[in-house]
Amino acid sequence: MALVAALAISLGIPGIHFFFAYNYHDTVLKAQTSILAQPLQRMINLNPMIWTFDSEAIQDLLSRGIADHKVEVRRVKQLNGKLIESSPGLVSELAWPTITVRQQLMDQEQPVAELEVIYSLDSALSITKLVALMSTTAGFAIFWFLSQFPLRMLEKSWRRINYLASYDALTGLPNRPTFLEQLSRVIEDVECPSQTVIIHCIDLDHFKAVNDTLGHAAGDTLLRQAAERMRDCIRKGDTLARMGGDEFALIQTNEATPKDAATLAARLIATLSEPFELEGKTTFIGASIGMAIHSQNNPVAPDQLLKNADMAIYKSKSVRRGIYHFFHEDLDQELRARKQLESDLIVALREEQFVLHYQPQIDPSCGQMLGVEALLRWHHPERGLIPSNVFVSIAETMPLMSPLTRWIFRTACAAGKRWPELKIAVNVPPTMFERDDMVEMVNSALA
C-alpha cells in the first residue's frame, strides 16, 4: 500500500496539476478571445468590404496585451485558412504544448473570417515537471503536505476561473456573457405595463488617443477610473458591465422611464467629461450613449435590445460625440442607407466618380477674378451630382479620406497647370493635418 500511495503521489499530483492548469488557461483564453473579437467585429460591421485592408489597425488590435510574443500568437484568417494579419511572432516559435482557441467573426450573421489565438503552455508544463520531481523525490515524507496543498491550490484556481468567466479582471464589472444573462432575467421579470427595462450602451470617446499617447497602462487606469465614476452614478439594482475595449453597458430597471434614462445618460456623460489624472497629466475624454427600451407594450429580445442600443450609439456618434440618443424604428433604415452610401463611396473612389467644380473668386472692387475654389462633387450613377457635405463626413470615418485627398490634390494641381495665372484653393478636412504623410501628399501632387 505504501508503494501504491507513493506512486499515486508521484504520478497523480503532476497529472492533476497539468489538467487543471490546462483548463484554467483554456477558460482564460476563451474569455480573452471573446473580448479581443469585439473591436475586430466592430471593424467588420463598420467597413465590411474593406476591413481586411486596414492591416495596421488589425495588427494593433491583435498585439494589445501580449507580454511575450514567444508565448502567444494571435491571427485573423479567412475561412479558407488564408492569413489576413497576425500579431508579431511565429506559431513555429511557440514552445510545445500549445492551446488554440478560435472564434468566428461575423458580417450580417454570416461568418467572414476567423480569429485564432495560440498560447504556449510551456510554463505550465515546466511547473508540472517540477511538481513531478518534488512528488517523486519527496515520496512518503511529504505525503500529507502534497495531499492538502493541491486541494487548496485547485480551489483557489477554480474560484479564479469562475471569477474570470463572469467578471472583467480589469474593472471588476460583469463581463458581456454575464450582462446578457442578467438582461434575459430582468426581461423575463417584466410583469406589468409600468415595468420597463432600459439599456445604455456607453462608448468612451477618444480612448484610443489616450492609449496611443500615454500607453496601455494609462489606458487601463482610465478604464478603472471611468468604471468607478459610472458606479457612483447608478442606483442599487442597476447593472453596469464592461462589454470589451472602451465599451460599457448598463441595465436600468425599477420602473425607469425614458426621462429617467435621459437624466442618467446626461449624468454619465457629464461625469465622464470631467478631467482624469493619468501619469501626472490631465486628460479629457467624454462619452457617447445609445439607449433602447423593453416593455410589455414593446417587447424586444435581449440580443435585439442590445443591437438597438448599438444602433442608437452609432447615431449619436454620427451627429457628434458626447451626446445620447434613443433607438427608434427609423434608425435601422438610416443605418442601412449609411451602409449603402459607404459601399458606394468605395466604388466611387475606385471608378473615379468624383469631380472638382471650380468656383471663381472675384474682387468686387474691380471685377477681376483672383482665383478659384475647388469644390468636390460626387457624380453618383443613380443619384446624380452629390455635394461634399453629404458624404465627406462619412468618408472621414472610413480609410478613404487619404486616397480621396490625394486625388483632390492631383486634380487641382493639374488644373493649376492649365491656369497658371490663377490661385486655386482646396478644402482639406482638419483630420488630414494630423497625418504624418500630409506634406508628402502635397509635394507629390506638386511634382
- The set of long-range contacts for 308-311, using a CB threshold of 8 Å and a minimum separation of 24, is 309/199, 309/200, 309/201, 309/249, 310/201, 311/335
H/E segment holding residue 428: none
Cell of 69: 510574443
CA torsion 83→87→93→98, rounded to 10°?
Answer: -80
Catalytic, 246? Answer: yes
CB 265 within 8 A of CB 300: no
Q: Exactly one of 238, 246, 310, 344 is catalytic; which is it?
A: 246
Entry field: residues in the chain: 447
CB 84 within 8 A of CB 74: no
Contacts of 388 (CB under 8 A, 6+ apart): 375, 376, 377, 378, 427
For 29-154, strand residue ranges (E) read: 72-77, 83-86, 98-107, 110-120
Q: Which of 281, 284, 346 has the alpha carbon at shortest distance from 321?
A: 284
Active site members? 246
